[in-house]
Amino acid sequence: MTIAIFGAGAVGCYFGALLARAGEDVVLIGRQTLVDAMSFRGLQLEKDGRIEHVTVRASTDPAAIAGADLVLVCVKSPDTQAAAQAMKPHLSADATVLSLQNGIGNADLLSAELNRPVIPAVVYVAVGMAGPGHVQHKGRGELVLGEGPGADAAATRLNAAQIPTEVSAQAETALWTKLTLNCAVNAISALTRRPYGVIARRPEAEATFAALVAECRAVAQASGVTLPEDMLDQVIGITRSMSGQLSSTAQDVIAGKPTEIAMLNGEIARRGAALGIDAPLNRALAMMVGLIEPRRDAT
Ligand SMILES: NC(=O)C1=CN([C@@H]2O[C@H](COP(=O)(O)OP(=O)(O)OC[C@H]3O[C@@H](n4cnc5c(N)ncnc54)[C@H](OP(=O)(O)O)[C@@H]3O)[C@@H](O)[C@H]2O)C=CC1
Ligand SMILES: CC(C)(CO)C(=O)C(=O)O
């Protein structure tokens, strides 16, 4: 059976490469530049100090997901709705759909557009594209899946491909925890273009992370989610386990692409405002990243 990856960027190419390497039939749906690069030398997976060429099918055509029994959606959040609309006519009735995306609303958005359950996956990995068809792994690589139809079977296949995956009844808390990690580090990395290890060495870093976490905790609590007590330690842990990594937001800024900031710090600021909780640091970071990203309505 086929596994389709919709949105073959850093995350999609990385997990697609591991699945294909484990013998799964994988098809990547991505842009023409990726398909062109892969027609010459397959997918290049740079991991653990070596580059491996992995043979995977790639297409720009959403119809390539037809017949897939597992679909991993790996587009950035602003592209979620368009991706759902492109996939919908081709999706098998019994396919399991996973959202491998940051933020807390993507699985629900996909589910509403596709009219079927979509399982959120919390993604703990540091990857980037070194060039078209060349994915670079810089750290970690685990997934936490929410519960739902097909989740256990998907986890079994992912684990078999050396992708450490667990299914958790606490997926909502895990998504909020990941959102908080992203709110603490992504925008700062994007605005400064510095990797986490460099940021964490600043004397002001820990207090800044703590203040961002406190805002996220208050908004999460008012939304019915209790963040883990060791949230700040988890942020510091990310800066150590992924010290050389630039956030995905930083990678977007550098590539001149729109970012997911509205679904990260922007989400906390917006939800906080709706709940009567002020989140000035998250609001300021969302505004600053918003000002440097390309927008159609920029003046
Ligand atoms: N990179 C990382 O280390 C991590 C990323 N994440 C999250 O994972 C998700 C994916 O991130 P990442 O892989 O970095 O993002 P990328 O931008 O590298 O990958 C997304 C890819 O999908 C493509 N795409 C978008 N829409 C379509 C479409 N309709 N048809 C075909 N291709 C499409 C994009 O092309 P184009 O750019 O041309 O639009 C891009 O190549 C995000 O939510 C991110 O926050 C989570 C943990 C770590
Ligand atoms: C895990 C982390 C923080 C890795 O950089 C990420 O989710 C991102 O960059 O968006």
Q: Is 247 in the pocket of ligand 2 (CB under 6 A)?
A: yes
Domains, the chain, ordered by start: 2-169 (3.40.50.720), 172-292 (1.10.1040.10)
Q: Which residues contact 278 (CB under 8 A, 6 or more apart)?
A: 272
Per-residue pLDDT tens digits for 211-224: 999 999 999 999 99
Q: Is 102 in the pocket of ligand 1 (CB under 6 A)?
A: yes
Q: For a pLDDT cut of 90, what percent of the chain falls above it?
A: 96
**HEC-encoded secondary structure of 262-279:** HHCHHHHHHHHHHHCCCC
128 C-beta neighbours (distance < 10 Å), count: 21
Ligand 1 atom at minimal distance to the Cα of residue 255: 37
State the average pLDDT for the chain: 96
Helix, strand or coil, per DSSP, at residue 58: strand
Ligand 2 atom at minimal distance to the Cα of residue 140: 1
Question: Which numbered ligand comes closest to the C-alpha of 259?
Answer: 1
Q: Is 263 in the pocket of ligand 1 (CB under 6 A)?
A: no
Q: Confirm if 182 and 174 have CB atoms less than 8 A apart.
A: no
The closest of 122, 165, 158, 125 to 141, measured between CA atoms, is 125
Helix, strand or coil, per DSSP, at residue 209: helix
State the pLDDT confidence band at 297, using cuts at 50, 70 and 90. Answer: low
Q: Is 295 in the pocket of ligand 1 (CB under 6 A)?
A: no
89 pLDDT higher than 80: yes
Q: Is 126 in the pocket of ligand 2 (CB under 6 A)?
A: yes
Q: For a pLDDT cut of 70, what percent of the chain falls above it?
A: 98
94 pLDDT higher than 90: yes
